[in-house]
Amino acid sequence: MDPVGTDLAADRGYPPTVTRPQPVRLDRATSRLNHAVYDQLKERLLDGVYTAGEQLSTEQLRLEFGVSKQPVMEAMRRLSGDGLIDIYPQVGSRVAIYPPQEVGDFFVMFGGFEGTIAGIAATRRTPEQLADMDAISRQIDQLRAELDPAVRARGYRLLNRRFHEAVHLMAHSRVMAQTSSRMWDLSDFLINTTGSPNPLSSALDERHNDHERIRAALHDGDQATARKEMERHIVGTVGTVSRSVFPARHAGLGSGGMGTVSDDIGPCESTQE
């Protein structure tokens, strides 16, 4: 299995840590070989196994997966369409780099979209769906006791996706959920390719508190508050990551000192930063 697989660790109850990729052989008998290569490469990108601007060798990946070049090249093409890698003809492929302003723009847009979903969810949620969300929230709460930053970061990424997917289900809107899924991929990518290891590990308490306010609004059926708290939570990601990458810049600013969105950093500037 790929070391960035999503199996939960039985001893901790949440996903294992991330390591640099190791050689892995895919099952040649499967008719989903192209999808398998794509899925595993995407998980590595979302986990921050590769950094922004890092070159990806088709030949090296082919050898790791034990496949021909075709599935790897097809995966690269799809990942390029997802905005996660850039392909340069006659040169090769690199992990995508986004300028800070575009990162800020994305999270403002994403926050508005997720806020809209949360507002709708507050009016449509069922008791069973609220219970499912509560169970995921308890797992995130337990994760806060974990001391390993890598385990905290990966565990939060996967449980956070499950939390927000639970909110999407409450909205009972397939088109919104499917549109949001691609945005979540890009969000995880932007967070974890900053060059800072495990950028959300130290912010786990803050992020969980955000979730608790969202959760309370959903339980109350408070559409306006659910929308506001969700949007604040998503847009605030930029400042949270920036404080992890450049803590000295934010020293003394307190939790509200994220500055303007475009001033904060994503995976974004030159890898020489």
Dist. CA 174–CA 237, nearest whole Å: 25
Per-residue pLDDT reduced to its tens digit, 158-188: 999 999 999 999 999 999 999 999 999 999 9
Q: For the chain, what is the mean pLDDT?
A: 84
Grade residue 62 by pLDDT with cuts at 50, 70 and 90: very high
Q: Give the other-Cβ count within 10 Å of 25's Cβ.
A: 9
Dist. CA 71–CA 56, nearest whole Å: 14
Domains of the chain, start order: 1-96 (1.10.10.10), 101-263 (1.20.120.530)
Burial of 58 (0-12, 13-18, 19+ CB in 10 A): middle
Which tokens is 145 given?
A: 């006791």
Do residues 98 and 54 lie in contact, with contact meaning Cβ atoms separated by under 8 Å?
Answer: no
> In the predicted model, is pLDDT for residue 141 greater than 70?
yes
Higher pLDDT, 23 or 34: 34
pLDDT, residue 147, reads: 94
Lowest mean pLDDT among 18-32, 94-108, 180-194, 201-215: 18-32
Per-residue pLDDT reduced to its tens digit, 83-127: 999 999 888 999 999 999 999 999 999 999 999 999 999 999 999
Dist. CA 129–CA 107, nearest whole Å: 26
Proportion of the chain above pLDDT 90, given as a percent: 70
Which tokens is 153 given?
A: 């970061």
φ, ψ of residue 56 in degrees (nearest 5): -110, 120
pLDDT, residue 198, reads: 84
Which tokens is 7 given?
A: 């199996």
Cβ neighbors of 29 (< 8 A, separation 6 or more) are none
φ, ψ of residue 94 in degrees (nearest 5): -135, 155
pLDDT, residue 260, reads: 39
Residue-wise burial string across 69-95, b where 16 or more C-beta atoms lie within 10 A, e elsewhere = eebbbebbebbeebebbbbeeeeebbb
